[in-house]
Structure 1
Amino acid sequence: MDMGKLRVGIIGCGAIALEKHLPALAKLSDKVELVAFCGRHEETIRKAADEYAPQAALYTDYLDMVKDANIDVIHICTPNVHHAPMAVAALEAGKHVMCEKPMAINAHEAKRMLDAAERTGKKLTIAYQNRFRKDSLLLKDACVRGDLGEIYVAKAHAVRRRGVPTWGVFMDKNLQGGGPLIDIGTHALDLTLWLMDNYEVESVTGVTHNKLREQNEANPFGPWEPEDFNVEESAFAFIKMKNGATIYLEAAWALNTLDEREAMTTLSGTRGGAEMRRNALTNTDELVFNGEMFGNLVETKLQTAAGIAYISPEEETIADREIGQWIDAIMLDTDPVVMPKQAYMVTRILEAIYESAETGKSVEMMED
């Protein structure tokens, strides 16, 4: 064993681990070593271990795994309800933690994670991989430079015409905490807040719908059982910030619309605007800047900023960038790109949207 490498354990060996975390970690073999796998089904974890690290320890109980002194870092790739207990246990055991999004099933659980990280001094990050897309990084640079001026209006887009995930536990409210709002809306909201660099929320007003449960025949993932669809199929929110800026959030797995956009944002500032959008003609994602020049309205489209898939034609994938910066943050003792306080605010807003939808009233965001 190379003592110069970070020793990583994985909890949850489903699709997100196999498609994102493990391939990216495998490319960092000069910096990390996979030493443990944990999951409920021994056959699943053994299969993952055989492919990536045959000598790794196998666990079916995460409480046993976090006690393993041979582990420095733990990646949590499980249903949302398990995020907080697993992350807190790992942090308390002295491990750094990368947890899949969203941070937790509710704000109380997310706060437990935040407190555990601050108490233990261990690093905690949440896997909001859309920050690491090329278009997101370019737009962040533009925002930091001030190209858009003060960003006072934004829209967070996470809309599928039909795209209800019929596998796993996505439609199980007890395990996930909700539907598309907490599943894909969380990405769009995180991206928007990060680009605005504004986490000071005053109030939240939200509505949720479940009206299309019978319209299940055109779903690309196959039809769902209407009686199993016990989460919202769409959610919409108006978020007012303390400085007067506003965010409109739309999240849907199923919506009768032609404007499909996922993990995208529209920003309007005092000097210019920027929009992530889907070009239906070319079937590609675009980043378009807009503003005034020489007394005319202008648009500038970036040709190379595209793509939200994990597998890209480039040698370096989005996951490579995301996992790479996380490992470097641990090794160099710097802050990860996704700070837990930022992810905590995303969870607080999502919870407020659900609360507002249930009560029919706006939710004032109190000081934590």
Structure 2
Amino acid sequence: MKQLRVGIIGCGGIANGKHMPALSRNKDIEMVAFCDIIVTRAEKAAKEFGVEGSEVYEDYKELLADKSIDVVHVLTPNKEHSFITIDALHAGKHVMCEKPMAKTYKEAKAMVKAAEETGKILSVGYNNRCRPDSLYLKEACLNDDLGDIYFAKAHAVRRRAVPTWGVFLNEDEQGGGPLIDIGTHALDLTLWMMNNYQPKMVVGTSYKKLAGQRHTANAWGDWNPNEFTVEDSAFGFIVMENGATVTLEASWALNTLDVKEAKCTLCGTKAGADMEDGVRVNGVKYNKQYIEKPNLESGGVAFYDGDCNGSPSDIENRNFYDAILKGTELRVKPEEALVVTRILEAIYESSETGQPVYFND
């Protein structure tokens, strides 16, 4: 089996912190091309992660013109996800696009269409599905341990952790703040657990209440209020076609102690579950209420303590490339990510208009 030749478009934080390290541990691929509008970043990435003779580009279209490249990772600001992904698919490349799928539902829908037209594999970087707690809880849902899940909460709440680097605070580049940045992970995780992708109606509110403050005790240092053009918190109330309800809470800055990120709470007819301190399952058995907490650690012997299956990024990477090389099932399907984008957009729209958003198709 030949090694797949991979190109990286966008060599910033998410590339260096997640994708390229995971790719470097994948023996089925070789990173051969790197592109960034800041060429020095692409040069640094090529030197650290590329094979000998790796190419460096400033224009992504030049990278896509290389017919020997099989796969592209799109790791740019959100504004660029859709058109780069579509161009890559039509250039004959499989694509891993970092989350969120796109700024808008229209853009995301065009991405799905391009994947269908070209027959190439497209996935989106929702690696929180690959955590041990997520995989355990998904197994419980598949086994119908919780029964009919009719109420759920998607949690993406930070007390004071506003990302102050890059373009995170730029609405034009990103499409929003914590809702589209970390709320997208929590919503994806929740819908995946429920296996429910049929939204009926959304009510949303977003706030920019703390963005203008200074001396903020922010985890990454004070933000510049003049550059903070997105919301600092947002909330959604989602009703699904089958009557199930999902609430979504997302914040970078909020005066709360109830802090949790990329987690969900599920309430079903047989049992409930949450992702507090790993996973907790609650219910009634033998006329008594119970709480079960599985041991998710893979340690237990003196000479080994760790996850034998790899990090979430490694597991995500392996699944994507197995789908390409072996035809196995893709864990994150583009049609699922499309629904997440649609709901997030509806929350922003509802907040702006003060009206519910109804889905008619």
When normalised by structure 1's length, the TM-score is 0.93
Query: How many residues are paired up?
Result: 352
Q: Distance in 2 between matches of 1:132 and 1:274?
A: 18
Shift of 1:303: 3.0
Amino acid at match of 2:272: G
Is 1:242 aligned to residue 235 of structure 2? no
Q: 1:9–1:34: 8 Å Cα contact kept in structure 2?
A: yes
Does the Cα contact within 8 Å between 1:49 and 1:56 map onto a contact in 2? yes
**Cα-to-partner distance string for 1:299-351 (whole Å, 9 max, x where unaligned):** 11123269xxxxx9535111110001100000012331000000000000000
Give, in angstroms, the shift of residue 215 of structure 1.
5.1
- For 1:96 and 1:164, locate their aligned partners in 2 and report how far apart those are by CA, in whole Å: 33
Q: Does 1:52 align with 2:35?
A: no
| Partner residue, 2:116 | 118
Q: Does 1:7 align with 2:1?
A: no
Residues 12, 76 of structure 1: 8 Å contact kept: yes
**Cα distance in 1, alignment partners of residues 219 and 156 from structure 2:** 17
Cα distance in 1 between the residues matched to 2:140 and 2:23: 30
Structure 1 pair 114–216 and aligned structure 2 pair: CA distance change class (3 A): farther
- Residue 283 of structure 2 is aligned to residue 291 of structure 1: yes
Query: Using the alignment, how far apart are the partners of 1:116 and 1:76 within structure 2?
Result: 15
**Which region of structure 1 is more displaced relative to structure 2, 214-223 or 146-155?**
214-223
Structure 1 counterpart of 2:265, one-letter code: T
SS at match of 1:228: coil
| Structure 1 position 41 matched with structure 2 position 35 | no
Aligned to 2:250: 251
5 Å-filtered alignment, 1:278-357, equals 285-304=277-296, 313-314=306-307, 316-357=310-351
CA shift at 1:225, angstroms? Answer: 1.1
Once residues 337 and 25 of structure 1 are traced to their aligned partners in structure 2, the CA distance between those partners, rounded to angstroms, is 17
1:282 aligned residue: none
Query: What 5-or-longer segments of structure 1 have no aligned partner?
Result: 278-284, 307-311
Work out the CA distance in 2 between the residues paired with 1:258 and 1:58: 45
Instruction: Provide the C-alpha distance between the structure 1 equivalents of 2:293 and 2:115, rounded to a whole number of angstroms.
Output: 41
Structure 1 segment 96-115 matched on structure 2, within 5 A? 96-115=94-113
Deviation at 1:140, TM superposition (A): 0.3
Q: Which amino acid aligns with 1:330?
A: I
Check conservation: 1:97, 1:123, Cα contact below 8 A.
yes
Q: 1:365 Cα deviation (Å)?
A: 1.0
Q: Supply the distance in 2 between the matched residues of 1:304 and 1:157 (Cα, whole angstroms).
A: 21
CA distance, structure 2, for counterparts of residue 356 and residue 305 of structure 1? 42
**What letter corresponds to residue 122 of structure 1 in structure 2?**
K
In the TM superposition, what is the alpha-carbon distance from 1:230 to its structure 2 partner?
1.1
The separation in 1 between residues aligned to 2:246 and 2:228, in whole angstroms, is 28
Q: What is the aligned partner in structure 2 of residue 128 from structure 1?
A: 126
Pairwise CA distance, 1:366: 2.0
Corresponding residue number in structure 1 for 2:302:
none
Q: Find the aligned partners of 1:227 and 1:27 in 2 and give their Cα distance.
A: 41
Which residue number corresponds to residue 163 of structure 1? 161
Q: Deviations over 1:136-181 (max 9, x none)?
A: 0000000000000000000000000110000010000000000000
Deviation track 1:52-96 (CA, whole Å, cap 9, x = no partner) reads 114211111011111111100000111000000100000000100
Q: CA deviation at 1:294?
A: 1.4
Whether contact under 8 Å (1:151, 1:268) holds in the other structure is yes
Q: For the residues of structure 2 that align with 1:216 and 1:269, how far apart are their CA atoms?
A: 43
**Distance between the aligned counterparts of 2:328 and 2:278, measured in 1?**
32
Long gaps (5+) in structure 2: 299-304
Amino acid at match of 1:95: K
Rounded to whole Å, the distance in 2 between the matches of 1:191 and 1:250 is 13
- 1:165 maps to a residue whose letter is P
The code of the aligned residue for 1:293 comes to: K
Deviations 1:6-57 (A, max 9, x none): 111100111111111111111112x111111111122111111111114211
Checking the alignment, whether the CA contact within 8 Å between 1:155 and 1:249 is kept in structure 2 is yes
The percentage of aligned residue pairs carrying the same residue is: 53
Moved over 4 A (4+): none
